[in-house]
Structure 1
Amino acid sequence: MASPIRKAILPVAGLGTRFLPATKAVPKEMLTVVDRPVVQHVVDEARAAGIEHIVFVTGRNKAVIEDHFDRQYELEDTLKERGKLKELDALRAETMGPGMTSFTRQQLPLGLGHAVWCARDIIGNEPFALLLPDMLHMSRGRNGCLAQMVDAYAKTGGGNHIAVYEVPDDQTNQYGIVGQGANIGDGVFKISKMVEKPAKGTAPSNLAISGRYILQPEIFDLLENQERGAGNEIQLTDSMLKLAEEQEFYGVTFDGAIYDCGSKLGFLMANVAYALARPDIRGPFRHELNALLAANQRAAE
């Protein structure tokens, strides 16, 4: 029986330069999609998949992320005194309990592989999930992306799993792309190849890595000795390729929409999509959005 997936790594040390000046003093992970920080959406996904402990790999000026997942007694007392019990219950439901979070520093900007390696002692010798907080995964079904992956992990009996999604053929050079091997069923298949940003016309498929992984702990030893690759950084893909020589890698096709909140367009689209999915605001929001689009159309004519 495969070991359960209890822990997850969230690398949150990035500078967020594509969102300056907004991210000069506010971490990009704390920018809000509707009324929740981007990182909260990702933590919600992890907890819904059964994750018990989240390791945040942080950097300088990221202390507000730690504060966000801590209890705020003054705020709780104020809400209680004012009778805002609904808000209080929602706040407490999202607060991580004692021992459920760890924070470790990535002191040098050496890439995703280095960020994962920084969490090695906290994760220990067990498989773990890795979720990139820039990428929001909105599922069409009841289960979120990581929950789908955990189900696939149980079905295959272990191994390494990577969530993938289809991208246009003429854009495969912008992503990490996997090749399809034997089909396992229910959107799960063996990965035959992994290529980081393949040259146009050379991609093994149009299935791009979406920023969700389940990895075995042997990846840490490989990352420790991994030479710097593209961008003079320690690339996770390079170590996954080495690990694939010894262990199985599976692709899990995500059933839903993905929004890259590391880009302005993706961030804006995420706000629209998540607002339209909210029963409490979707009606008024759709009305105002349609009115705005109509006004822009008239102005352009």
Structure 2
Amino acid sequence: MQKRVRTAVFPVAGLGTRFLPATKAMPKEMLTVVDRPLIQYAVDEAREAGIEHFVFVTGRNKGVIEDHFDRQFELETTLETRGKTKALEELRQDLPSAGRTSFTRQQEPLGLGHAVWCARELVGDQPFALLLPDMIFKARPGVLKQMIEAYETVGGNVIAVEEVPHSEISSYGVIGRGAGDDSGFAITEMVEKPKPADAPSNLIISGRYILQPGIFDLLANQSRGAGGEIQITDAMQTLLQSQRFTGVKYQGRAFDCGSKIGFLTANVAFALDRDDIREGFVAELKKLNVNLSQ
């Protein structure tokens, strides 16, 4: 029987330079898609999948993330006094239970692999999920829950993947596909940003992982890779030599909110999915009368 995945790690120390000046004083993870911060979507996905411990790897000027996942008694009292019980209940539902959140600091911007390594003492000797908050998904069930279902069958390490056109794969980490169906197949190799001609497939890593704790020992001694940073993919490539990696081609739609186009598209897609604002939003879009053929 596999050890349960109870802990999730959220790397939130990035500077968000692609969204300056909006992120000069506000963490990029607090940018909102409709009316929810990006980090809230990732936490919601983790809670749906049964995660019990939420570990945030933060950096300078990220205190607002910790505040977001804390109670604000003045706000709650005001809402209660004004009879805004629905808003109050929604705020309380969004919060993990007391004692379920932990925060640690990545003191230098040394890459995703280093951010994950910074969480080692909080994770301990247990498998854990890794969720990149830049990536949000419209998926039912959520992507991490789909991955947990695969993990409970095969164990080991699990990575969410999606197909992209071959012309785009040089921007991503790409995996080689072995035996198995879309809900869980063997990963045979991983290549970071290959040329299209050298790529083993058109399946890219999509910002959701389930990893065994052995990754921490590898990250502790990992040489700096692309961009002079400690890359999680480099450590996973080493771990692949001794442990099983399973790919899950998830059912759903991804939005890369680390890019302006992905972020804007996510806002439109999630707004159109909201019964309370869809009709009015569609009406406003029609007023724009945009000629998309230009």
TM-score tier after normalising by the smaller chain length: over 0.9
Over the matched positions of the two proteins, sequence identity in percent amounts to: 64
Equivalence for 2:128: 128
Equivalence for 2:33: 33
Q: Would you say the 8 A contact 2:12–2:58 is kept in 1? A: yes
Equivalence for 1:171: 168
How big is the shift at 1:250? 0.5
The answer to which of 282-291 and 18-27 deviates more is: 282-291
For 1:98 and 1:92, how far apart are their aligned partners in 2?
A: 11
For 1:107 and 1:258, how far apart are their aligned partners in 2?
A: 30
Once the two structures are superposed, residues 52-102 of structure 1 have per-residue CA deviations (whole angstroms, 9 ceiling, x without a partner) of: 011000000000000000000000011111111111110111122211100
For 1:239 and 1:89, how far apart are their aligned partners in 2?
A: 42
Gaps of 5+ in 2: none
For 1:48 and 1:266, how far apart are their aligned partners in 2?
A: 24
One-letter code aligned to 2:126: E
1:20 paired to 2:20: yes
Equivalence for 1:103: 103
One-letter code aligned to 1:252: V
| TM-score, normalised by the number of residues in structure 1 | 0.96
Equivalence for 2:153: 155
RMSD: 1.2
SS in 1 for 2:198: coil
Alignment of 1:125-274 (within 5 A): 125-139=125-139, 142-156=140-154, 158-183=155-180, 185-274=181-270
1:51 paired to 2:48: no
Residue correspondences, number: 294
One-letter code aligned to 1:270: A
Once the two structures are superposed, residues 4-30 of structure 1 have per-residue CA deviations (whole angstroms, 9 ceiling, x without a partner) of: 010000000000000000000010000
| TM-score, normalised by the number of residues in structure 2 | 0.98
1:286 paired to 2:282: yes
For 2:177 and 2:135, how far apart are their aligned partners in 1?
A: 23
For 2:132 and 2:237, how far apart are their aligned partners in 1?
A: 19
Question: Of 273, 276, 288, which residue of structure 2 is paired with 1:277?
Answer: 273
For 1:73 and 1:187, how far apart are their aligned partners in 2?
A: 44
Q: Would you say the 8 A contact 2:182–2:250 is kept in 1? A: no
List structure 1 segments (4+ residues) > 4 angstroms apart after TM superposition.
none
Once the two structures are superposed, residues 167-186 of structure 1 have per-residue CA deviations (whole angstroms, 9 ceiling, x without a partner) of: 01111111100010011x35
